[in-house]
A and B are shown apart, each in its own frame.
Chain A
């Protein structure tokens, strides 16, 4: 157990054990906040942030390899773009009712129930994808990316 290669990556055993216990709860809480965005405080942005925090938590405790095996950079980038496109698509679908971002569900459901409020929960899901993947990517870039200053010609856009 100790001295293995996995042990050297990330933080101590105590942190890892606690992380293993809590990270699922954090993810679930994020999803809860996200899905109840239209009936209680919270929503897509807050839910997305909490979901991203669960992945950042794994990265802090176990190191980047473990975190990337759960959510790679390419996958995060894909999710981010998909979230944005989904959000615009919901807006464009509103044209079926005559207006951009029209709430096109005729049955808005019962107030304070989970399945209600038409497109708002769908918008929340799209926003949470964008925000969650975006926040994770920003964290990864701030932590991992290094710039060579005064180097030869590092012409790279990303």
Chain B
């Protein structure tokens, strides 16, 4: 039974997506119920999978009962279970939020169809144990996200999605070329089998070239700094729940997870790769934070801040000690929670006031208390203020950097944390505190001050749920909890190329 659970993460969103397309047009309300039930079921299944992995170890599923080096394998290990929980948690809260938020758009059913297709792609990337299958799922998620960014079909959105599509396709081409070269060298596409073949044949120059292609391709999907240009356009243009999904989990499952899985478990990490990751991580951190400081568009600021926070995760991965990897994965989870909360807040502000320009806002705490409080919690979390979850993950990364002798990198991480605090205090000041702006009092360009009211029930519910996770996220570090969740994911990575032996061992080959 436990092993069949693995397929659920692909079957359920795919089936729900196409059922939605069939019945959603006719029946009003059906798309909401169907999508929410599907994502809720996925969330429950992903939490269950964490316990299943803790109990039984790795699950390898033989699709169609073909034995893996020949057939397609689906692999559920500690890292995959961790990523599945992250993705499906944010996805569930985003669908809850969409119930009210997407009312102003027509054709809700096609929104949910694309949303669930994107979710199927992300879950597929995470559980795939086959290199080409991973690419296919990556493209499903990417293509669905191109369409979702353009969902408003206005000039700005179409321009952003075109840029995103061109850059995303270039990234996919790098990955496809890398997979093709890898296949020509190892004659296999199964990730565990590639790893075994590389161990026998030696790495060679071709593997170095393939690794560079993968870092460039997956780095483009993760928006690391030299490849980040599409993100500040694409993420703000999408509807708020999609911005939350894109910034919260898409760049992580398609970018960071794939880099980490391929470099650590398949190719095997070396000093050269970790140095590249360290430099890219610190560069993303600093450039993202500096660019975020100059923004007046709230969602654009959040998009730049995503680049900066992804830098932290990559820095932790680059340091490479178990503690640093644990910190990086913890920050990945935390970032997906507070960044999706911040994007949902920005959606609530836009829903209530009709603008994203921070110069036109001010004093909104009075009118939007729940949005104000949850946004304050998320801002403090992302800036790394002590009781919240962001503090612990940043602290672990900085500790690990110092412990591993990278004192300079630790210094930059601490400094960027201060910069983050600076621009999020400016967000709080401009949007929620202070006096209402003249534009808002007169109702020019924005909603009139007296008309602004708190967004509907479901939007509030999902924001409150995310804020609660932000407050209590630090509890994940308690050994009893982290043993199954964070440490299992860290162990899956630090095992390195032992991954292949684990997979073939569980198959009994």
Contact = CB atoms under 8 A, between A and B. Distances in A.
A99 interface: yes
A81 B19 CA distance: 7
Contacts of A150: 155
Interface stretch (A12-20, A27-35, A51-59, A85-93): A85-93
Nearest to B10: A100
15 contacts: A80-B21, A81-B18, A85-B15, A92-B11, A94-B64, A100-B61, A102-B64, A102-B65, A103-B64, A149-B155, A154-B154, A155-B104, A156-B106, A156-B153, A157-B110
B22 interface: yes
A85 B19 contact: yes
A78 interface: yes
Give the bracket for the number of chain B residues in contact with chain A: 20 to 34
Interface of A: 77-78, 80-82, 84-85, 88, 91-92, 94-95, 97-103, 147, 149-150, 154-158
Given A84-B18, A157-B106, A157-B107, A100 B63 contact: yes
A154 B64 contact: no
Nearest to A149: B155
Interface string B45-81: 0000000000000000111110000000000000000
Contacts of A97: 65
B225 interface: no
A82 B105 CA distance: 25
Interface string B120-151: 00000000000000000000000000000001
Contact of A88 (B15, B64, B105, B111): B15
Contacts of A103: 64
Given A88-B11, A147-B153, A149-B155, A101 B64 contact: yes
Given A100-B4, A154-B154, 15 more contacts: A81-B22, A82-B22, A88-B11, A92-B11, A92-B15, A97-B65, A99-B62, A100-B11, A100-B64, A101-B64, A102-B64, A155-B104, A157-B110, A157-B111, A157-B153
A78 B105 CA distance: 22
A127 to B, nearest CB: 13
Contacts of B14: 84, 88
Contact of A99 (B64, B106, B110, B155): B64
Contacts of A102: 64-65
A150 B158 CA distance: 12
B188 to A, nearest CB: 20
A157 B18 contact: no
Query: Which of B63, B104, B111, B153 neighbours the largest number of chain A CB atoms within 10 Å of its CB?
Result: B153
A81 B21 CA distance: 7
Contacts, number: 67
Closest 7 CB pairs of A and B: A157-B107, A101-B64, A99-B65, A84-B18, A100-B7, A81-B21, A81-B22
B10 to A, nearest CB: 9
B350 to A, nearest CB: 13
Nearest to A92: B11
Interface in B1-57: 4, 7, 11, 14-15, 18-19, 21-22
A96 B88 CA distance: 28
A82 to B, nearest CB: 7
Contacts of A92: 11, 15
Contacts of B322: none
Contacts of B61: 99-100
Contacts of A82: 22
Query: Which of B11, B14, B63, B64 neighbours the largest number of chain A CB atoms within 10 Å of its CB?
Result: B64
A108 to B, nearest CB: 13
A92 B7 CA distance: 10
Given A100-B11, A155-B152, A85 B64 contact: no
Nearest to B159: A149
Interface in B149-173: 151-155, 158
B410 to A, nearest CB: 46
Contacts of A85: 15, 18-19, 22
B18 A88 contact: yes
A103 B66 CA distance: 10
Contacts of B7: 100
Nearest to B14: A88
Contacts of A157: 105-108, 110-111, 151, 153
A78 B24 CA distance: 12
Interface in B87-125: 104-108, 110-111
A97 B65 CA distance: 9
Contacts of A158: 106-107, 110
Contact of A155 (B18, B105, B110, B158): B105
A124 B11 CA distance: 19
A101 B6 CA distance: 13
B106 A155 contact: yes
A155 B105 CA distance: 6
A102 B155 CA distance: 47
A157 B152 CA distance: 6
B11 A156 contact: no
Contacts of A91: 11
Contacts of B111: 157
Interface string B341-368: 0000000000000000000000000000
A154 B63 CA distance: 44
Contacts of B22: 78, 81-82, 85
A94 B65 CA distance: 10
A81 B65 CA distance: 27
